[in-house]
Chain A
Amino acid sequence: SQTIHQWPATLVQPVGSPLSLECTVEGTSNPNLYWYRQAAGRGLQLLFYSVGIGQISSEVPQNLSASRPQDRQFILSSKKLLLSDSGFYLCAWTWTATGYGYTFGSGTRLTVV
């Protein structure tokens, strides 16, 4: 069966510090991978998605970047965090099959102080 791992679960970082969140998927190959952010009191916002190694699409301009160095690994990064980067970050994967549901990781709670 397929599983998705996301870490760390909780992170407190000072403003201006770098960020690296990692997400890995097991039990499948060539998944579509996604990073979402859920800010306090708001819905889910798609940040990045990837359909293959080295292929990254950005949905919104921001202080963040994403990379996919391996087929089942998706990394979210920042060189210098802002207070507004605080939120709940979720990684997700899906197959390309029509209508197949998306499976989410357990999320990372990031607080920038």
Chain B
Amino acid sequence: GNSVTQMEGPVTLSEEAFLTINCTYTATGYPSLFWYVQYPGEGLQLLLKATKADDKGSNKGFEATYRKETTSFHLEKGSVQVSDSAVYFCALSHSGGGADGLTFGKGTHLIIQP
């Protein structure tokens, strides 16, 4: 079956530090890959996505590249801010339409200190 593995944290960084949150996946076929962010007490928001190999998703300074050869979709940001503190979820869905929903990693709690 499908699965997503990501570092759980918490990951604590200082403001302006470089961020990497690793995500690897197991799936048949060619899934679409997503990063979602959950701020305290809120639902999930789509941060970025990639639908095929070598695609790079980007948003709000965050980037992730779909690497089929390493089955990875690592999230990066060059300079984090306190406002980036949140839980980040890596997820995949099948390219066949996604009727079976998303498969999520367990989430990475990111804490940015001023």
Residues of A at under 8 Å CB distance from B? 6, 32, 34, 36, 42-44, 46, 49, 51, 57, 59, 90, 92, 94, 96-107
Q: Whole-angstrom distance between the alpha carbons of A57 and B101 in the complex?
A: 11
Of A44, A46, A96, most B-chain CB atoms within 10 Å: A44
Given A36-B101, A49-B100, 13 more A-B residue pairs with CB atoms under 8 Å apart are: A44-B107, A46-B101, A51-B99, A57-B100, A59-B101, A92-B101, A94-B98, A96-B97, A98-B96, A99-B32, A99-B49, A100-B98, A102-B34
Report whether A107 and B106 are in contact in the complex, using a CB–CB cutoff of 8 Å: no
Instruction: Tell whether A99 pairs with B45 under 8 Å between CB atoms, given A32-B98, A43-B89.
Output: no
Q: Whole-angstrom distance between the alpha carbons of A97 and B99 in the complex?
A: 10
25 contacts between A and B (CB under 8 A): A34-B102, A42-B106, A43-B105, A44-B44, A44-B104, A44-B107, A46-B102, A46-B103, A49-B99, A49-B101, A57-B100, A59-B101, A92-B101, A96-B98, A96-B99, A98-B97, A99-B32, A99-B49, A101-B49, A102-B34, A102-B93, A103-B46, A104-B44, A106-B42, A107-B43
Q: Whole-angstrom distance between the alpha carbons of A107 and B51 in the complex?
A: 26
Cβ contact of B44, chosen from A42, A90, A96, cutoff 8 A? A90
Residues of B at under 8 Å CB distance from A? 32, 34, 36, 42-46, 49, 51, 89, 93, 95-107
Please give the distance in Å from A50's CB to the nearest CB on chain B. Answer: 9
**Total contacts A to B, CB within 8 angstroms?**
68
Which chain B positions have C-beta within 8 A of A102? Answer: 34, 46, 93, 98, 101-102
Nearest-neighbor residue (CB-CB) of B6 within chain A: A43
Q: Which 6 A-B pairs have the closest CB atoms?
A: A99-B51, A43-B106, A99-B32, A44-B104, A104-B44, A101-B46
Nearest-neighbor residue (CB-CB) of A49 within chain B: B101
Which chain B positions have C-beta within 8 A of A99? Answer: 32, 49, 51, 93, 95, 98
Which chain B positions have C-beta within 8 A of A59? Answer: 101
Instruction: Tell whether A34 pairs with B101 under 8 Å between CB atoms, given A98-B96, A106-B43.
Output: yes
Q: Whole-angstrom distance between the alpha carbons of A87 and B67 in the complex?
A: 34
Please give the distance in Å from A47's CB to the nearest CB on chain B. Answer: 9
